Structure 1
């Protein structure tokens, strides 16, 4: 109860701190979302009746997570400020397919995860909380021993069994068997019709809000063009987030011409995971990533930004390998993730600094009984992103960068947010001129409570080592009498509440 009270106070104080001219929220768009990414089997086990083949000591076995487990944690996810969840594939898999990518039946929920009704309940409960649901969808391949492989009527449903050797040869990339998995021939009209029909069926049946499209570059662009058109005909504003694993944003951006809305931003990941996992790294390369994104993408604000995922080494591991405090490093990385352009995607377990090396070690079982330091920090970031449209829709300008001390500005409809990140091992000062920020105002810190008043030369932002602050530019204030009065009233009421509760407790005992 105390925790709920102080959470309420924090939100109330934030409403006082944000200037009155702050832009109001318009109709919700996908660039306004923040995504919590869940590997279903490794998240939360709520239904022991579906715990077949579970062995939590084997990193390649099922660990018991299920759809009911996700539903049970929706409030937890919402409280951190996330507005959407992305689930690894929930379709029926071959034995050992805890991850969901060895599909054996595209029309069934894997019994390890629950039932179709469990999925419908999850979506319904998520929507009650204004949380959108994105399913991971695989059209490139099936499981290694799919029944179709032995069906003579479907012999032309697969490409000839060949590995990919030349990754610069697009035909080989699209027709080769990725990791030895049977490669579906989407140019076959029957295959194409089947995959599109099943994609539409899940939308109609469960009311999901989007697909994260797996292995996009291994499937012909002509297929994606028809696929996107048909699935979007089923539900308005249905979102397609493509995984095109490539270092060149021009290569990735080209798929946007074929109906895919946004993409998982691997060039961002490459820079962010290195920069924030170690102190004294310049943030210039990250800003360069944004400048390229602005040039190459039609909708750069729909790129999914991330620090790690189920296919990469955990960010915590990178920090530990660099002999850094992972909690400190995660806080800095998430500050940038939540305040820079793009849709932030956070992999489950980041909020507890979950460790992990290469697959499958990066898919450890979630632990909900751990220190809350990062969780509380994420709640602040989530609330700020919700309250400040400039952090979701604003332009993005680098005002200052020197060896890891960086200051960015975002503006949207009269609202100006300033993001300062000290990614160095020492206290740093950044001077911002009157040309960079409107003179005669103050920077009101909302993350850590800092206050920077301008002088005739501009603004001096001072941050301790390895810390960050998010400011709004506001009119200079004197003594805020209404705010102080409200603060006193809140704590008087809370004192009365504690006294009354204690008195009532004595009466009942």
Structure 2
């Protein structure tokens, strides 16, 4: 009996010490990519000690297998020649007498994948917080093994919206007139609470099962494409969620910027300030947002490669039309140049927009591709979110009219376009998921809301609207959980259903009809991709033109509480035009002599 227990103890100890191979990321790659190598992150107990072999496969070679400080990660680099054929690679891992064989798929790319067209001025981006848009599959509201259970009564909780909910309402979005869908991150956020927003990743390669599966995300992209809409992914390069497996088992000690919370100072200026204290700059880049979001150190070359490959993988896997990058400048500056160069090299016509939340155009413009700043930094990022113009819009419509305030703020903001290499490629918006809704910012003034949306949809740049803005949603709060309110009609039993029109009040119907008309007009208006010419505002009235060979449009914004009469002799662009067809009302106006514009009104006039 004693011998039996000794043998049992020995077997138990051996089993406890056994190596394993649990995961390989990315789970597949493609032939025909411009990137000549792929680095596999192999994870499993003591896998770092493994000897790796690759069975012969024409065009593919094993470059190296590299271990870092953790015994549980191994980084395997494969070189893939340009004319390699699709197929399965046979990889073998041997560690301590154990053998693990894995078939690694090398897939063929979809036709034209490398030349995919990104979003442009012709598009309108519709921003969706998936958890709050529509619950297409109540069966995935709560998933075994995941905390943060669904609770619609909790503003910061999960409400049950998912990918199927978006898929189910593509008819509505197509009729609305939007052409690109940007979803807040849908990758796994296995956090104990406040996980619905998606910005605390715990698995970069897996859609959170409460939203659906990877295949659902790809199916959404394909279904949207069939309706003339693209899908933009929201990626986070700067941080992860504190429940990410890396936190408990770091591949290397420098994988994170510190292992304990130390806050960022959020001072973007430190990257550009010629007088900056080095410690302030380091705190901006290496500090954490909150204790639950550990900050990634992209200076580690293996982490940099992992993040680059992950972004390429999602674009290729899901057939995406663009990328939105969260907290752009918080990541390492050299890495950002490397990451953006790799993506643009793989997809020359892809568009990518970075979130640099600064209202200083000098800081925002620094990051745009082709800007050639004094320090010699080379960025490859095509687009930025135009936060300076968003601030100017709200101030311009809410502050008193003086020679240097009020609606002239819009003119001044656009006059700063000389700072940008490509101002027409900036993404313009009135609100987003991180700020009070535009109706709230405009104190519930529907006339000003209509002026704001007219401006966003007719000025230079690529418009983005936040879900529910088409209904003039006004939760009267800047609390994130409240402003990201459930879209009416997205849940069974909702008394108001914007998808069908049931229960909408008069104001909501008017707002939706206005947005549908302007958005669908925009689809057929070549002028919105044309040149912008604007005039210095006078007496609270701002006038500008969008000009293309095929169409000329004049926009007039009268912010005043009373009608204003314009002397049309001021506008050289009206030469040869006698009439203006107002897009929204359908009325036609004479463009000779003067034009009287009603109070708090924006007109969009097609010149005849």
- TM-score, normalised on structure 2? 0.69
The structure 1 residue matched to 2:264, chosen from 164, 172, 189, is 164
Aligned equivalent of 1:477: none
Q: Describe how 1:340-379 pairs up with structure 2 within 5 A.
A: 340-356=459-475, 357-358=477-478, 359-368=480-489, 369=497, 370=504, 371-379=508-516
Q: Using a 3 Å threshold, how does the CA distance of structure 1 residues 284 and 128 change in structure 2: closer, same or farther? A: same
Quick one: distance in 1 between partners of 2:549 and 2:473?
A: 39
After TM superposition, which residue ranges in structure 1, 4 or more long, deviate above 4 angstroms?
A: 277-281
**Structure 2 residue aligned with 1:108, among 172, 181, 206?**
206
How well do the aligned residues superpose, as a CA RMSD in angstroms? Answer: 2.0
**1:146-185 equivalence runs, <5 A:** 146-160=244-258, 161=260, 162-165=262-265, 167=267, 168=270, 169-180=280-291, 181-185=293-297
1:284 equivalent to 2:396? Answer: no
Q: How far apart, in 1, do the equivalents of 2:266 and 2:542 lie?
A: 40
Q: Distance in 2 between matches of 1:81 and 1:191?
A: 40
Structure 1 unpaired stretches of 5+: 1-26, 475-509
State the shift of 1:28 in Å.
8.9
Residue 209 of structure 2 is aligned to residue 73 of structure 1: no
Residue aligned with 2:580, SS = strand
Q: Rg larger in 1 or in 2? A: 2
Pairs within 5 Å for 1:207-222: 207-222=319-334
SS of residue in 2 equivalent to 1:141: coil
Determine whether 1:134 maps to 2:232: yes
Q: After the TM superposition, which residues 447-458 of structure 1 pair with which residues of structure 2 at under 5 Å, given as runs? A: 447-455=584-592
CA distance in 2, matches of 1:98, 1:279: 39
Find the partner of 1:251 among 340, 351, 363: 363
Q: CA offset at residue 351 of structure 1? A: 1.3
Paired residue for 1:464? 598
Structure 1 residues 234 and 435, CA gap change in structure 2 (3 angstroms): closer
Partner of 1:20: none
Change (3 A) 1:245 1:235: same
| Structure whose residues are more often helix by fraction | 1
**What secondary structure does 2:223 align onto?**
helix
Change over 3 Å in CA distance of 1:103–1:28 after alignment to 2: closer
Q: Which shows bigger deviation, 340-349 or 29-38?
A: 29-38
Aligned equivalents of 2:582 and 2:525: distance in 1? 13
* Deviation, structure 1 residue 337: 0.5
Compared CA separation, residues 73 and 236, structure 1 to 2 (3 A): farther
Q: Give 1:151 deviation, angstroms.
A: 0.9
Aligned counterpart, 1:486:
none
Partner of 2:580: 443
Q: What CA distance in whole angstroms lies between the structure 1 residues aligned with 2:264 and 2:137? A: 40
Where does structure 2 lack aligned partners over 5 or more consecutive residues?
1-116, 143-148, 271-279, 370-378, 490-496, 498-503
Mean CA deviation greater in 268-277 or 434-443? 434-443
Deviations 1:12-56 (A, max 9, x none): xxxxxxxxxxxxxxx996121111100010111110111111111
- Whether the 8 Å CA contact 1:279–1:466 is kept in 2: the answer is no
> Within 5 A, what are the aligned runs for 1:200-211?
200-211=312-323
Change (3 A) 1:440 1:209: closer
CA distance in 1, matches of 2:447, 2:150: 34
What is the match of residue 266 of structure 1? 387
Query: What are the Cα deviations for residues 192-244 of structure 1, in whole angstroms up to 9, with x where unaligned?
Result: 01111111111121111111000011012221222122223444522111000
Equivalent residue, structure 1, for 2:556? 420
**Structure 1 residue 192 corresponds to structure 2 residue 295:** no
SS in 2 for 1:82: coil
Distance in 2, matches of 1:251 and 1:414, equals 35
Structure 1 residue 330: Cα displacement = 1.9
Deviation at 1:406, TM superposition (A): 2.0
Displacement of 1:402 in angstroms is 2.8
For the Cα contact (< 8 Å) 1:173–1:217, is it kept in 2? no
Quote the offset at 1:67 in angstroms. Answer: 0.5
Deviations 1:306-357 (A, max 9, x none): 111111111222233xxx43x3222111000001101111011111222232
Higher relative contact order (CA 8 A, sep 6+): 1
Structure whose residues are more often strand by fraction: 2
Is the 2:118–2:350 contact (alpha carbons within 8 Å) kept by the matching residues of 1? Answer: no
Q: How many residues end up aligned between the 2 structures?
A: 439
Deviation at 1:277, TM superposition (A): 5.2
Q: Distance in 2 between matches of 1:366 and 1:119?
A: 20
TM-score, length of structure 1 as denominator length: 0.82
Q: 2:453 matched to which residue of 1?
A: 334
For residues 435 and 336 of structure 1, do their structure 2 counterparts lie closer, same or farther at Cα, with a shift above 3 Å needed? closer
State whether residues 395 and 411 of structure 1, in contact with CA within 8 Å, keep that contact through their aligned partners in structure 2.
yes
Residue number among 377, 384, 402 corresponding to 2:538 in the alignment: 402
Measure, in 2, the Cα distance between the counterparts of 1:171 and 1:73. Answer: 45
Q: Higher mean Cα deviation, 194-203 or 217-226?
A: 217-226
Structure 1 residue 273: Cα displacement: 2.3
Say if 1:142 and 1:450 are closer, same or farther in 2 by CA, change over 3 A: same
Q: Which residue of 2 aligns with 1:94?
A: 190
